[in-house]
Amino acid sequence: MLTTHLLAIFLISAIVSHSKALRFPRELYNLSSNQIFIVDNLSRPPSSSASPTPLLSPAVSSPLVPALFIIGDSTVDCGNNNYLGTFARADRPPYGRDFDTHLPTGRFCNGRIPVDYLALHLGLPFVPSYLGQTGELEDMLHGVNYASAAAGIIFSSGSELGQHISLTHQIQQFSDTYQQFVLSLGEDVAIDLISSSVLYVSIGINDYIHYYLRNVSNVQNLYLPWGFNQFLASTMRQEIKNLYNTNVQRFVVMGLPPIGCAPYYLQRYKSNNGECVEEINDMIMEFNFFMRYMTDELLHELPDAGIIFCDVFQGSMDIIRNHKSYGFESTANACCGLGKYNGWMMCMSPQMACRNASDHIWWDQFHPTDAVNAILADNVWSSRHTEMCYPMNLEKMVFSQSLNNLV
């Protein structure tokens, strides 16, 4: 049987499920039947500009976990940077044009980001940004997104763009949320809520884009790529242990994408026919190798922890190499931008965007389209298109740990 504390969590969640901050976007509800609308297609995500098609029932009848908490960078920022003084913002069109509301939300995408899709798989509403919610208990019970564009593992990564919430600060914000749960719900219920929820971590790419590749503080003379990768992975290892000590037991740790294939670096390194920059991708692959090895170590070191590592590089390269079978036409050009590969200048106005983002892999200089995010999220959840999560996907982790609670 589920523990009394865990049942209490779901009861509290049900009571506050109509809280404004936790509702699905208005367009996702059929008010007459309470059905949830999500885009679903067995072969690949449909056009991101298409209208969502209704399912006969919600993705799941009830939440599979109490909450989803998110720490990261622009890959999963859903609006925190809207409240900061920074150039790293996505709060103006054409960002969000194919989102459920067709408005910019702060997501660095034309539509949804991966954690939006994962929230639906888990039976949860879209997770609100930490700076965008009111701070009330009911606004946080189903999860909080602390991610901030330009943030990195290194505190100063991305600082040339302005303000951002560093990894260390995001973890402190998560700890503050946990303390609020303790004060409001009691320590036992708060521990059960946190330990039964999922923490999704997606960070590190800005340590290359805005730090190592720019040779900030002469870092390339201090660290060879191998040493720099090892430094980042060891830092992440310690932060995951710190989070575990805050009673987090379910982790999804995301690897880094192939930014050597991103339009920005294709134009900067003068790629002739859209070939990826191998020297950059080699660094990313090596970092992901260290992170996967670190995951194996932590699984042996931390009792009762469920940690999965998802190799975004592997999943993304499968899409690029087999783009035709996924339905993509353009593998090198960003949908929105300016210059060769639309990678010279960032996406700044609707006039700079292509008409149909769903046949593009890249939305802007660095970020994938909604269609790619849907594929990657499906891989994280169920390995639907390719195996990229180790030692298991999120669906297996959630259900295996749920079975362990049925004693």
Show which residues are catalytic.
74, 364, 367
Tokens representing 391 are 């030692």
- Spatial neighbors of 317 by CB under 8 A, at least 6 apart, are 258, 261
- Other C-beta atoms closer than 10 Å to the C-beta of 107 total 27
Could you tell me which of 211, 257, 202 has the C-alpha nearest to residue 231?
A: 211
For residue 330, give the DSSP letter: E
Contact 347, 334 (CB under 8 A): yes
Tokens 């606004």 sit on residue: 139
The C-alpha atoms of residue 21 and residue 288 are separated, in whole angstroms, by: 35
Alpha helices in 20-138 (DSSP H): 114-121
Contact 291, 309 (CB under 8 A): yes
For residue 54, give the DSSP letter: B
Name residue 183's amino acid.
L
Q: Treating both helix axes as pointing N-terminal to C-terminal, what angle do 370-382 and 114-121 enclose, rounded to 10 degrees?
A: 40
Element (DSSP H or E) covering residue 250: strand 250-254
Tokens representing 206 are 């800005």
**What are the two backbone dihedrals, phi and then psi, of residue 395, each rounded to the nearest 5 degrees?**
-55, -45
Contact 367, 94 (CB under 8 A): no
The C-alpha atoms of residue 402 and residue 64 are separated, in whole angstroms, by: 8
Tokens representing 271 are 């790629």
The C-alpha atoms of residue 324 and residue 326 are separated, in whole angstroms, by: 5
- Other C-beta atoms closer than 10 Å to the C-beta of 242 total 13
